[in-house]
Amino acid sequence: MNPENAGNLHLKVISPEALLLEAEVSEVQVPGLDGYLGIWPGHRPLNAGLAEGEIIYRLASGQTGTLKIKGGLVTVENDKIIVLTGMDHDD
Amino acid sequence: MPALIDLRRRIQSIRNSQQVTQAMKTVATARYKKVHRLVVERRPFWHTFPELAISLTDTFALPVHPFLEPRVEKKIAVVVITSDKGLCGAFNSNLLNLVSEFLQRKKSEVEIQAIPVGKKAVNFFRNQNYLVEKQYFERVEKKIEEISQDLSRYLKQQFYFHKIDAVYVFYNEFRSIISPRLTMARLLPLRSEAVRPGNIERPEFDWEPEASRLIDYLLRFYTFYQIQHYLYESQASEQASRMMAMENATRNAEELISDLILLLNKMRQASITKELLEIQTAVEALRQQGV
């Protein structure tokens, strides 16, 4: 897909305690287990584990932002990105 | 007709009860606000997480994890979440009725293990012939994390080793202040029937790392957060129900008091009128005697 006329991505970052972030973004980078993954509109459906690091995103308005996470999971489908993070009850 | 003193005593005693219900309402309101905020904050996760777990695993024809494996139900565990204390309207009884029905329906077919949470549920199962290996009561609201962890671990173990084939949970889900929604949820397994490939039109996913490891990772947390979810929802509905019940009680007491006060005033007036009449009669009598 041509990024020039691509739509936006819908990004949601959710932890067990709260919805940390919900935004329309034009691009996102997430800390994958083997290094950062860049996600643009039109990305292939993907499920990936996440390492500790920062989610870096560019809002539709052009502003950028970051969010620290401690690992988790990302799923991408139809330009919807859901990040689950902060789960720590391993039993 | 009751004596005035009795009426006054009665009014006083209703006032005392009203003060108690008023205080309980205040406490319930404060607790409700606290737990309601928490429930609202956590719902995005509680709703997204199982949905995601199920939808991701739908892409596989074969169960890739024991939790996804549909089984013939021979032995089931029934978790019932009620409150420790009463005075919250029909909060517990409605749920326990639903549980009763379910147990009646199931008990001829399957072996049932009960896991009551909250004193009301513990009492409910006390006089019945169900296996109770685990129960939680007293100050449940302070021990939600602890209970979730313990119960989650227990159920997983039982399920892995085929001691149980399914886990059903009964709880009140918080919908609105007016009334909770009685809910039965199946915690395990996640799916009741095998997914037939071809029925689902979903794109191929890329997985990093491979699917089984990722699903493993996701499902590791599944039971814990689900149980936590059920417990908090139940908490929120309990406090809301208590708040409503106490509000009604306070209002009823108010009505009763105003009725009684009316009666009291009538009676007092009647006795004053009577005394006045007596005095008047005496005065008339004396006057006629020419005193």
Of A77, A82, A89, the CB nearest to B48: A82
Tokens encoding B180: 């909770």
**pLDDT tens per residue across span B194-203:** 555 555 556 6
With pLDDT > 90 as the criterion, what percentage of chain B qualifies?
69
Q: Cα(A73)–Cα(B58) distance, rounded to whole angstroms?
A: 17
pLDDT (average), residues B117-138 = 92
Amino acid identity of residue B128, one-letter, is Q
Contacts of A15 in chain B (CB under 8 A): 45
Q: Is A15 on the interface with B (CB under 8 A)?
A: yes
DSSP annotation of A43: P
Above 0.90 for ipTM, yes or no?
no
**Closest Cα to residue A34, out of A11, A17, A13, A50?**
A50
Q: B138 phi and psi, to 5 degrees? A: 70, 120
pLDDT (average), residues B16-45 = 95
Q: Using alpha carbons, list the distances in angstroms from residue B61 to B189, B197, B247.
A: 16, 5, 53
Distance from CA of B157 to the nearest CA of A (A): 10
What's the confidence (pLDDT) of residue B20? 95
Domain boundaries, chain A: 25-33+50-72
**A18-32, A66-80, B46-60, B175-189: lowest mean pLDDT where?**
B46-60
Q: Cα(A70)–Cα(A65) distance, rounded to whole angstroms?
A: 17
**Closest Cα to residue B188, out of B81, B56, B52, B50?**
B50
For CATH 1.10.287.80, the residue range(s) in chain B are 4-25+246-288
What's the confidence (pLDDT) of residue B110? 93
For CATH 3.40.1380.10, the residue range(s) in chain B are 28-244
Domain B28-244 in CATH 3.30.70.2200? The answer is: no
Distance from CA of B208 to the nearest CA of A (A): 5
Q: Given the structure tokens 């989610």, which residue do they identify?
A: A55
pTM: 0.87
Q: Are A71 and A85 in contact (CB under 8 A)?
A: yes
Question: Class assignment of domain B4-25+246-288?
Answer: mainly alpha
Are A82 and B52 within 8 A, CB to CB? yes
What's the confidence (pLDDT) of residue B199? 52
Tokens encoding B254: 């108010």
Q: Given the structure tokens 């008091």, which residue do they identify?
A: B257
pLDDT (average), residues A53-63 = 92
